[in-house]
Structure 1
């Protein structure tokens, strides 16, 4: 036994070992095994691996098929593949968007500034039977957008963004609500009956926006009465996501601090 092996064997993580055994077994099989066959294949009992299988399925690493058989998903490949800034940001944001839609019953989407447009890079469908959402990849102009106002609240270069003075002034008007309430409430520029609540996802001190989360709801008296509660959930989500980005993407946080990105 080498010195390294001896040192490593002092530490054990049985649950992790079971999870890795399951993933490795599924990666090598040329069929789709049942729970019993997975247990037999890694020399464990069904009761030993049952909870681990549930967790791996919930986290998206394996999938259950017809006949209670199992196979790997492509999640491992996705995790190992190089990803763009937007791709990494979307994956980090996913659980926060899901929690926000569960808490509010409303669809939401995550946007970034891209080529002087607002670009949707992630979304989460409503927990209710219907909702208003934008598809990933959708682009819209900056003018009149509450989402754009959140993405630009620390900027002053309207000409470089392709906005005329009136459009820039309108965005500034939307931000008055942000200064007071911590979020922007606006009407959708294309559908007047749709209200949007937006808040920036910021990192650094002072706060610099790297993205924005927007919730959309049909304008009605009943829903308007719930806006303060919805806004509280939104502000909690952007705050938590900003902290996660600070931890998960330190190079971006450093860029913000050093260059005011």
Structure 2
């Protein structure tokens, strides 16, 4: 009799190994193998600049092509993955990003921030963006472009290091002591809290000065940070100190809109 084809959703053999009675002593195993495969694939593709083929995904997740085939097909059908018909490469769609922005906290933040941010961009002729902490990194959740033909913009959804950005420094300055970023400058954080903002040259983009204000919650933590990446050009109608004042007023307005 021919051997039965392996079940793609069956747990790996290694998960069944162990000393007799070990399962009874261990905590209950509620693993869902197909879900584990799907999450591994999504996390893998999130780190890729380009797409990956089925065999590449199988190797990277340490599974066989047959184990992940149905998972890939389902993720594609549900709109979480896009498969290029010519190359066969899989990439993430914006479905996860869309789901994240349906969360009530982000919807409330967008609703509270976008109108004031548009007024800030209009009055300063500079772009501005709003960022939050996501898994220990800075993620841009809203952005308004400069009304000028020339300006600097940051893509919504872009992720930056917490430790090396002005936005990250401001958010980290208002973290509780037990959540402080390893290696962070305590004196710099104290200055940010004292001044209520940070203005410094952007380490990633020469000629840009980051003007950053926190959006503080009732507990004193920074729920988000408003950043104006100030570009000094002949089109800049306001000097940086007036941009700083306008950004401070906008941050206060966003906080008021959130009821903080």
Q: 1:146 aligns with which of 166, 176, 197?
A: 166
Q: Which runs of 4+ in 1 moved over 3 A?
A: 81-84, 219-225
**Residues of 2 paired with 1:111 and 1:84: CA distance?**
16
Alignment match, 2:114: 94
Tell me, what secondary structure is at the counterpart of 2:168?
Answer: helix
Length, aligned pairs only: 161
Q: Which has the higher helix share?
A: 1
Q: 1:179 aligns with which of 182, 194, 199?
A: 194
Q: TM-score by structure 1 length?
A: 0.54
Q: How does 1:179-218 map to 2 (within 5 A)?
A: 179-180=194-195, 182-204=196-218, 207-218=220-231
Deviation at 1:187?
1.9
Consecutive unaligned residues of structure 1, counting only runs of 5 or more, are 1-77, 247-252, 254-261
Q: 2:126 aligns with which of 78, 81, 106?
A: 106
Q: TM-score by structure 2 length?
A: 0.55
Consecutive unaligned residues of structure 2, counting only runs of 5 or more, are 1-97
1:136-166 Cα offsets, whole Å, 9 max, x none, are 10000011211112212222447x56x432x
Alignment match, 1:126: 146
**Residues of 1 paired with 2:233 and 2:188: CA distance?**
23
Deviation at 1:96?
0.9
Q: 1:87 to 1:225 in 2, by over 3 A?
A: closer
Q: 1:221 to 1:101 in 2, by over 3 A?
A: closer
1:172-220 Cα offsets, whole Å, 9 max, x none, are 426525523x32012222123211100001132x633111100012356
Tell me, what secondary structure is at the counterpart of 2:120?
Answer: helix
- Alignment RMSD, CA only? 2.9
